[in-house]
Amino acid sequence: MTIPRPNRDQVRAVARDLRISLSDSDAQSYIGLMEASLTTYEALEAMPDELPPVKYPRTPGREPAAHENPFNAWSVVTEIAGAPTGKLAGKRVAIKDNVCVAGVQMMNGASVLKGYMPEVDATIVSRILDAGATIVGKARCEYFCASGASFTSAGGPVLNPHRPTHSAGGSSSGSAVAVATGAADLAVGGDQGGSIRVPAACCGVVGLKPTFGLVPYTGIMGADVSIDHIGPITRTVADNALLLEVLAGADGIDPRQSIPDSVASDYSSALEQGVSGLRVGLLREAFEAPGAMSEVSALVRAAGRELQDLGADVREISVPLHSSGVTIWMPIILEGTLANMLANGGGTNAGGGSISLA
């Protein structure tokens, strides 16, 4: 691609904006000085992108009509069929709309990204398709995934399928609703401060925030690399374990992943092992938090007693910093999002380093 060269009048106009006075000869001299830089940009543009191939055919999909989307869970509906066989064969999967699916619009819940079409599949999308699943759409998420409720998406509020006047939880609101209503068998959600767990709880499905770095975040719009997680939302624990088996493991790209491949495991088989000997902590500060509901606390304690009866070691623990969680989460998420935008996510935290805005 040939980059247009500025003329003298354009150079002098820019100089005036900078309170610099240039003669015609000065402007011509600057044009000459620019030539070497512009030539290098042309050489860069001529190089191949070397993007990974898009393996499975797809169309851009479409925004569903209102009658097809009664709880507003979908941003885009599509149908991308994966491999003919695999662990997820026959499963319909919803992808949170901050995850890249090549050729399908990704808004991350934000009006400023409407029309953005990724050129590559996120690592987890490739793994889901390779495992035989069919991707049936992009599920709505909150604006830049920065809300734990379900009313900030540029596409409108996502409704709770059990009580539409109540929140479906966020930010993976559409993912949880798609699974809860049976519109998808499985979904992926993202979690920095509860964005998988909150909507799963609100919609009555199973949501798991995996161990940090277990699932690669490559090709996903994040908030802060120190707290970005992606994980499964499903109707059953068995399906959750199955999807995690497909998602987990290093991809050699994501700098968040410092755990060995051996950590990724056959989670489905672990379901048969029982809970005997497992150590389970009930967080004291969570029960004491402002706004904690006595009915919810009672249910959590009852679940703890059931686990104890099954052989688990259940005890109350204390993490004092938890009481400050809501207060400190906001500056982390705001500064992390800003750093990602300024750095385009490239290399942030790679090799243990970080980006400082100070």
Active-site residue identified among 126, 147, 150, 171: 171
Are residues 231 and 207 in contact, defined by beta-carbon separation less than 8 angstroms? yes
Residues 6+ apart with CB under 8 A from 28: 8
| CA 228/CA 190 separation, integer angstroms | 7
Q: Tokens standing for 1?
A: 């691609």
Radius of gyration of the chain (CA): 24
| CA 144/CA 223 separation, integer angstroms | 8
195 flagged as catalytic: yes
Strands 229-234 and 206-207: antiparallel
Active-site residue identified among 126, 147, 173, 195: 195
Active-site residue identified among 96, 126, 138, 209: 96
| Cross-strand partners of 175 | none
DSSP 8-state assignment for residue 211: P
Burial of 197 (0-12, 13-18, 19+ CB in 10 A): buried
Residues 6+ apart with CB under 8 A from 285: 318, 319, 320, 322, 323
End-to-end alpha carbon distance in the chain: 38
Q: Tokens standing for 267?
A: 């989670």
87 flagged as catalytic: no
Active site residues per annotation: 96, 171, 195
